[in-house]
Amino acid sequence: MALTLIDYKILQYVNQSTKVEQSAIVNRFSSEIDSIEYRLELLAEQEYRTVSNSFRIPIENTSYIQKEYVLVKDDNGLSYDKPTGFFYITDKGKTALQEYELDKQSELRRKYEERFWRAFPVVISLIALMKSFQNEFISLWQLVAQLLK
């Protein structure tokens, strides 16, 4: 899954604390994103390893964020995982976020360097122009000084 700018914003928001309630994420991004729940599901989507024909085990660190679950027993004594409504960032999510921030810094550094090399010839030309008219500037300055006396 290729992450978008909005996905990185969600990862940054979730990374700010140890766990974040889904409703807080929805409230924070509902004005920017129409399908926030779907994006959360995509970011939390895990890969599975099939052990037998009907049994699959989730593979660790294959999702960017993960839902928090609690083990609950029903009236019949059967246990199942119930989502708490909280998300937390995984190591894969932290890695993706760090790479994104490094790429952003590198891009910014490259833009500054490009601007410098574009402005450098103009600055050199201005210095050369001022140097070539140095004698005229000095005589003009002396003339102004004499007029002010």
**pLDDT single digits (tens) 56-114:** 888 888 999 999 999 998 888 889 889 999 999 999 999 999 999 999 999 999 999 99
The pLDDT value given to residue 130: 86
> Could you give the CA distance from residue 50 to residue 56 in angstroms, rounded to a whole number?
4
| Residues written for the chain | 149
The pLDDT value given to residue 67: 93
In a domain, 23, yes or no: yes
Domain count, the chain: 1
Reported pTM: 0.73
**pLDDT single digits (tens) 44-68:** 999 989 888 778 888 888 999 999 9
Q: What tokens appear for 117 in the block?
A: 């090399």
The pLDDT value given to residue 58: 85
Q: What tokens appear for 37 in the block?
A: 């729940």
In a domain, 80, yes or no: yes
Domain range for 29: 5-116
**Which of these, 43, 20, 31, lies nearest to 96 by C-alpha position?**
43
In a domain, 50, yes or no: yes
In a domain, 26, yes or no: yes
The pLDDT value given to residue 15: 96
Q: What angle do CA 107, 64, 101 make, to 5 degrees?
A: 15
**Which of these, 104, 10, 16, lies nearest to 65 by C-alpha position?**
10
In a domain, 125, yes or no: no
Instruction: Provide the CATH number for the domain around residue 18.
Output: 1.10.10
